[in-house]
Amino acid sequence: MTMPITMPTRRQLLAMIGTSAGSAAMYQAMTSMGFAATSDYTGKPPPLAGARNGESVVILGAGLAGLTAAYEMRQAGYNVKVLEYQDRGGGRCWTIKGGDRFTELGGAEVTCDFETGYLNPGPWRLPIHHYAVFDYCRKLGVALEPFIMKNEKAYLHNSKAFGGTPQQIGHVETDIRGYTSELLAKSVRQGALDETVTREDQERLLEGLRGWGVLDKDYRYVKSDELGEVRGWDVLPGGGLMPEAEPSTPIAMSPLLQSGLWNDLFTFNHYNHHPALFQPVGGMGKIGDAFTRECRDLIRFNSQVVRVEQGENGVTVHYRDREGGDDILQETADWCICTIPLSVLAQMDIDVSDAKKKAIAAVPYASAFKVALEFKRRFWEEDEWIVGGISYTDLPIVQIAYPSHDLFDKGPGVLQAAYDTYTAEKNWTYTFNALDPEERIIAAREYGRRIHPQYDAEYMSGTSCAWHRVPWTLGCYGQWTEELRAEHYETLCEIDGRVVLAGEHCSHIPAWQEGAILSALDTIRRLDRRVNA
């Protein structure tokens, strides 16, 4: 039976077309706000003239920016020392596994009892165009494997649509493309495009729309065997005397439009999400571990910086040994590279210009959170054939990410069961940050079971990270706006006497490891030039 077609409003039609073809415009807008950019890495770090007289550099923070700077400057002959707040390197390039523990602001302890699997609380995927990250992974021997971003069997879910039943991504995407093709074909056949498209091109357009949208001979998007080859089957083609194949039935256009599910398809169009994406084997923390291994003799761990002062001839950093009492220690150097997150740095005594202090204090940090849950078996693979990918929902958990590693393993498995960086209308990030660790796990389970009823029977344990409650960063990443960049970005990045900043917050790719590394490489190039001027 042919499903009735309800004509969409102009706004709905434009949104549908944007879903299929609007990634360029979306990317341009994201770039202007500093949320996306292509790496300009050329395949090797900038050549450094090197230390002429054994100049020394103290680097504050052993995240990827700090360790990149340490790695390259030591090779150029500088005397390098790194002060790190934590007892490990890598910063937000971090993996939480079974046996790990850490204490949040307020004193709550976050535990992880996973038998297998892990949570990457910070970065968790590597776009193929982040060339510097890939180059250092090669240099440092970090093994990589594919990261599955989009899986057409994963779900789009609106709790108020379709009785709360999640819909497969592939179904929604194919139906949006089909209905858009049908409506555009109807416009062409009714002469609505006569002034903009020649008659010859109209014929080509109709031919293309019929194939692209899987339309029938009358240019309708309806159930058919041809559509089954694209959208999938309710009864799969079989062999022998098995039942005949039955193509799946499209979602009616009006309920599909009203659901808003197709808005989430934009996520897969974002430039940073284009395939292929990768991840380190064993967790994102492997990158930080590799840098730490190379620079281990340069790092003083458990060092809490409390003051940075500078003069004409050098820099003195005052810090406290977090394991050795309240005594204030000092590290002196000719130069200082500070990679401490601005959210923390703004609360410290640092001897820089008033303009730079204003820039440091101007940039807010994202209130991101993640929750991971371990289950007795990988039911998403066994029951629903979801192998990697991400489901999106209007519920406060926002998304469920299925692991791209250990596929089809028979043992327990871990889902990234909740993740959001900022939801303007709901402020769910603040809600989850206000919960204690156990409450976050309970909430993720409660919402997740609406998409996967297997949660209750299969649950084993959980862990989480609420970034505003992490003492050494107080947020996830710097959130720039176009206005903030125009006013403060150059001031933030420029060398101030003998102090210069670096990190993802000093880049046009905030929140990404590529931004941290590129910032460090640019910083050491400019600092080396200053030293050798």
pLDDT digits (tens, 9 = 90+) for 397-435: 999 999 999 999 999 999 999 999 865 456 678 888 899
N residues, the chain: 533
Cα–Cα distance for residue pair 493/356, rounded to 1 Å: 9
Which is nearest to 333 in space by CA: 63, 59, 49?
A: 59
Task: Determine the number of helices (DSSP H) and then strands (DSSP E) in the chain.
Answer: 19, 23
Report in angstroms the alpha-carbon separations of 497 from 360, 494, 500, 506. Answer: 16, 9, 8, 17
Query: What is the structure's pLDDT at 261?
Result: 94
What kind of fold does domain 170-254 have according to CATH? de novo design (two linked rop proteins) (1.20.1440)
Chain segment 250-261, per-residue pLDDT in tens: 999 999 999 999
What pLDDT, on a 0 to 100 scale, did the predictor assign at position 38?
52
pLDDT tens-digit readout, 446-467: 999 999 999 999 999 999 999 9
Identity (one letter) of the amino acid at 388? G
Can you give the pTM of this predicted structure? Answer: 0.90
pLDDT at 26 over 70: no
State residue 42's pLDDT score: 75
More reliable by pLDDT, 45 or 502: 502
Where do you find CATH 1.20.1440.240 in the chain?
170-254
- Other C-beta atoms within 10 Å of 249: how many? 16
> What does DSSP assign to residue 272?
G
Q: Tell which residue, 274, 271, 262, has the closest CA to residue 28.
A: 271
Nearest to 283 by CA among 88, 123, 408: 123
Distance of CA 181 to the CA centre of its chain: 32
The rounded distance, in Å, linking the Cα atoms of 386 and 408 is: 10
CA–CA dist 438, 432 (Å, integer): 11
Q: Are strands 56-60 and 335-338 parallel, antiparallel or unpaired?
A: parallel
Mean pLDDT of 347-374: 97
The rounded distance, in Å, linking the Cα atoms of 265 and 259 is: 13
Rounded percentage of the chain residues whose pLDDT exceeds 90: 86
Best CA proximity match to 66, nearest among 528, 516, 526: 516
Higher pLDDT residue, 40 or 475? 475
Cβ atoms of residues 67 and 295 within 8 Å: yes
Tokens 């974002």 belong to residue: 270
Burial 355-369 (b: 16+ CB within 10 A, else e): ebbebbebbebbbbb
CATH 3.50.50.60 range(s) for the chain read 56-91+285-362+478-531
The contacts found for 340-346 with CB under 8 angstroms, 24 or more apart, are 340/60, 340/61, 340/305, 340/503, 341/365, 341/472, 341/473, 341/474, 341/475, 341/478, 341/503, 341/505, 342/478, 342/505, 343/473, 343/474, 343/475, 344/472, 344/473, 344/474, 345/501
Are the C-beta atoms of 363 and 475 separated by less than 8 Å? no
- What's the CA gap between 42 and 35, in Å, rounded? 21
Measured at the alpha carbon of residue 39, what is the angle toward residues 36 and 42, in degrees to the nearest 5? 175
- Domain 101-152+275-283+366-469 fold: Polyamine Oxidase; Chain A, domain 2 (3.90.660)
| Dihedral Cα 65, 67, 73, 77, nearest 10 deg | 170
Task: Give yes or no for residue 1 having a pLDDT over 90.
Answer: no
**124, 180, 181 from 398: Cα distances, Å:** 16, 27, 30
Which of 529, 485, 528 lies closest to 505, judged by CA?
485
Q: Are 366 and 475 in contact (CB under 8 A)?
A: yes
- For residue 58 the two structure tokens come to 């103290």
Res. 32: pLDDT tops 70: no
Nearby residues of 222 by Cβ (< 8 Å), 6 or more positions away: 2, 3, 216, 250
pLDDT tier for residue 43 given thresholds of 50, 70 and 90 = confident
At what angle are helices 131-140 and 513-531 packed, to 10 degrees? 80
- For residue 431, the model assigns a pLDDT of 85
The residue ranges of DSSP E strands in 204-310, in sequence order, are 233-235, 246-247, 277-280, 299-300, 303-310
pLDDT band, very low/low/confident/very high, at 78 (cuts 50, 70, 90): very high
| Percent of the chain predicted with pLDDT > 70 | 91
Start and end residues for every CATH 3.90.660.10 domain found in the chain = 101-152+275-283+366-469
Q: Cα separation of 255 and 6, whole Å?
A: 9
Structure tokens at 64: 């990827």
For residue 449, which amino acid is it? R
- The answer to whether domain 56-91+285-362+478-531 has CATH 3.90.76.10 is no
